[in-house]
Amino acid sequence: MKRNIVYIFLLMFVIGLVGCVEADNDESGTITVIVVDYENETVFEDTIEFNKDDTLVELLQEHEDIHLVGEEQAIGFFIHEVCGISALDYPETFWYVAVNGESSLVGISEISLQDNDEIKLSLIDW
């Protein structure tokens, strides 16, 4: 348990350090967004169009099916709920973000929008 907490704090520290990089979006395009619930079932999968001035957080917050809920913290945006599924309803879980099948090295508010990217949000245990 203590080891998991240490890993979480280290991850948050790294995200805080890397999170200072400004996102550099493509001019426009589409991203595929996949949302996976705690039972590892896909609850949403579709493409979303974006423009250069969009942010991933805003796109997901404004999307009628995804409706991302969270809060801005010192280390970046912390996700609480996606597609009506709250991490607070499950003990010791968080929303994991992967870009093109790889763990994101930055927080969700710092992910740049690149045409044809796949963004996967999964509710997992820590």
What's the domain range around 98?
Answer: 2-125
CATH of the domain at 90: 2.170.130.30
Please tell me the distance from the alpha carbon of residue 56 to that of residue 2, in angstroms, as a whole number: 32
pTM attached to this predicted model: 0.80
Total domains present in the chain: 1
Cα distances (Å, whole numbers) of residue 36 to 57, 85, 104, 124 = 17, 10, 16, 9
Q: Report the percent of the chain where pLDDT is more than 70.
A: 82
Region class of 75: left (phi > 0), else alpha (psi between -120 and 50), else beta = alpha
Q: Tell me: the pLDDT tens digits for 33-86?
A: 999 999 999 999 999 999 999 999 999 999 999 999 999 998 889 999 999 999
